[in-house]
Amino acid sequence: MSLSAEFTQQALRKVFSHEGVPTVLVIDDGTHFTAKFLEDWVKGLGCRHLFIAPRHAQSNGLAENFVRTLKSAIISFSPTTFVELDRGIDNFLMQHRNAVHPVIEKSPALLFKYRSLRTSLHCAKSADVTFFKGNDLRPATGIVLSSNGKRMATILDLNDLSCHRRHIDQVKFNTKGQSVIGTPAVSNANESFVEDLVVSEQKVAEEYTTCEESEVSIPRRSERLRSRPPLDYKHPRAHSRCGGCDEHD
């Protein structure tokens, strides 16, 4: 029994312990695969030992392509010690098993284990934001406290009783007689305060309507006087005030 054949048996035993014993084992004609004890051991597990045709690497093309890919990966990270080599191979295998095939659009891990392997890249996904200041764009019901100029107003949010300064384009005023949705119950002591706020809200709405009417564009008319026609010195009577009459002195 050669040392390479014994190492091959140990490697196959570890693979079989993780993934199970395969039905058919296709290998090449290497001496570490053709050993008698290895063939008897594989047959004892209920696995068919199948060899490819001699001098025909295309029969085992998938394995040969993966060997070439693995060698290219090892050259890319250029390990100097065995620890770096072992770590680089593990990282490469993790990425390779999660890589999606361009034709079937599935990864080897999904085809073999029916799931994708979790990697550190899953931590790069954005977490759920519970609260972010300034990013809460939910519609809210409020009361206008005061107007700051023609385009700004101070709004009282009825949900959390906080004050906000908003542009007039961000405010949608309720019409007269329309109930305010989501208005909390108000005690008798605060009824007068709320009435004053509602009155101020109506005033701001009226001011906004007045500003919109005043800002309607009016067509511009020229204020310059019309230029006089050029004088005709050959016929000066044509430009006299009498309209060009034929009277003579």
Q: How many domains does the chain have?
A: 2
Query: Domain with 129 in it: what CATH number?
Result: 2.30.30
Q: Are 71 and 28 in a shared domain?
A: yes
Domain contains 10: yes
Task: Look at residue 83 and tell me whether its pLDDT is greater than 90.
Answer: yes
pTM, 2 dp: 0.42
Domain contains 230: no
| Helices (H), ranges, the chain | 3-19, 36-44, 61-77, 82-98, 108-113, 191-214
The dihedral sign for the CA sequence 80, 81, 83, 89: positive
Query: Domain with 56 in it: what CATH number?
Result: 3.30.420.10
Name the most confidently modeled range: 24-28, 136-140, 209-213: 24-28
Q: What is the pLDDT of residues 91-120, one digit of tens each?
A: 999 999 998 988 988 998 898 888 888 887
| High-pLDDT (> 90) share of the chain, % | 13
Q: Are 107 and 145 in a shared domain?
A: no
Q: Are 134 and 90 in a shared domain?
A: no
